[in-house]
Amino acid sequence: MYLIKNAEVYSPESLGAMDVLIGGGQILKMGHDLPAQEAYGVEVIDGEGKVLMPGLIDAHVHILGGGGEGGAKTRTPEIMLSDITSGGVTTVVGCLGTDGCTRTMSNLLAKAKGLEEEGITTYVYTGSYQVPVRTLTGKIMDDIILLEKVVGTGEIAISDHRSSQPSKKEFARIVADTRVGGILSGKAGLVNIHMGDGENKLEFLRYVLKKTEVPASNMLPTHINRSRALMEDGIDYAKNLGGYIDLTTSSDPDFLDPDEVKASTGLKMALDQGVSEDHVTFSSDGQGSLPVFDSDGKFLGLGVGKVTSLYREMRDAVLTDGVGLTAALKAVTRNPATLLKLEKKGRIKEGADADLVLADKETLDINLVMAKGRVMVRDGQVLVKGTFE
């Protein structure tokens, strides 16, 4: 058990300085001047001068590795536990990307299971870029209903030269099946949609909202900040249609695209233009490839995404772009938790999972990361390592 004393709690709404008692993987009690029962094996952690936030949720991570756009040697490596926890992330949703052939759902599920055994919380989407969706059981709905870790479909690629180029109707069917699978299993039924650089931008999502009864909360388009034009379309989609948009925090320093919008800046832009702070999320695209192609579609090179970029962009939003801590935290905690229907995640309250990050109040430097009540990282030291680290 742990008692965190006197930290500024952001749930992510600011609750002021409080004590938080943790035991059995959960937040047991919150209050003022909670007695420190050290005799019962409670370790007291000093929270003075620190902020306590929910563990981050990264709803788009290529936990198995991805890529391959430059041939087999460019398939990116699997993630390791500390690549995730060192960035304050305690929940990930794993996905497949461009390659839905040599990367498989059974392999993805096994990797997600392994990370869960190592101490964090994991889910997956069924499918990859491809349409028809390559599922495990043969059907999107069956995967979601029968496989516990499957909470949706993705990342389905549209507006991209690597997409299967589905029709609007095919796309709507994928979203509909995912929604009903979610309803029947009490899960989110979220479609994570990979947006490329194509002219159509968010047109397919607008079609779904206009022509079907499916609500916007079943679709989360990602990489919205990959270009200025897409960012503007994303802002319009979120503001005028009540859509949700996801900004990718990884970028490759070797191939900085001048047209790309940094995620922290994109969040500021969206909020300034009237998008609700409940409608923007960040995800890292961690361990996926960040390939660059020329205008003729020729492969130029690729980098690898990092989960730690998620925390970096949240912090830059606060310290550089002037976004409030609550709004910045919502993009990496509460909002993904709500879209993924994870009621015990993305908030600090009694009964919630003890997924927590303690950070310096001024610099937001991470001090301690706890996942399901277990201290994973403390004072820059990774205390719980992955099996092969």
Active-site residue, from 58, 83, 143, 285? 285
Residue 338 interacting with ligand FWO (CB under 6 A): no
Contact pattern for ligand FWO over residues 220 through 259, marking x by CB under 6 A:
---x--x---------------------x-----------
Residue 283 interacting with ligand FWO (CB under 6 A): no
Q: How far apart are CA 233 and CA 174, in angstroms?
A: 22
Provide the residue count of the chain: 389
Q: Are 290 and 78 in contact (CB under 8 A)?
A: no
CB of 6 to ligand FWO, least distance (A): 40
CB of 38 to ligand FWO, least distance (A): 48
Single out the residue of 233, 285, 353, 355 in contact with ligand FWO (rule: CB under 6 A).
Answer: 285
Interface region with ligand FWO, contact rule CB under 6 A, candidates 28-36, 97-105, 141-149, 213-221? 97-105
CB of 65 to ligand FWO, least distance (A): 8
Name the percent of the chain in helix, strand, coil, to the closest 5. 30, 30, 40
Instruction: Tell me the one-letter amino acid at 374.
Output: R
CB of 59 to ligand FWO, least distance (A): 14
Kindly tell me the number of DSSP H helices and DSSP E strands found in the chain: 10, 19
Q: How far apart are CA 27 and CA 16, in angstroms?
A: 17
Q: Are 278 and 335 in contact (CB under 8 A)?
A: yes
Q: Which residue's CB atom is positioned nearest to ligand FWO? A: 97
Neighbours of 304 (CB within 10 A): 20
The distance from CA 317 to its chain's CA centroid, rounded to whole angstroms, is 16
Residue 98 interacting with ligand FWO (CB under 6 A): yes
285 is an active site residue: yes
Q: How far apart are CA 155 and CA 150, in angstroms?
A: 13
Number of residues that bind ligand FWO (CB under 6 A): 15
Q: Looking at the annotation, which residues are catalytic?
A: 285
Site residues, ligand FWO (CB under 6 A): 62, 66-67, 97-99, 194, 223, 226, 248, 285, 288-291
Site residues, Zn ion (CB under 5 A): 155, 194
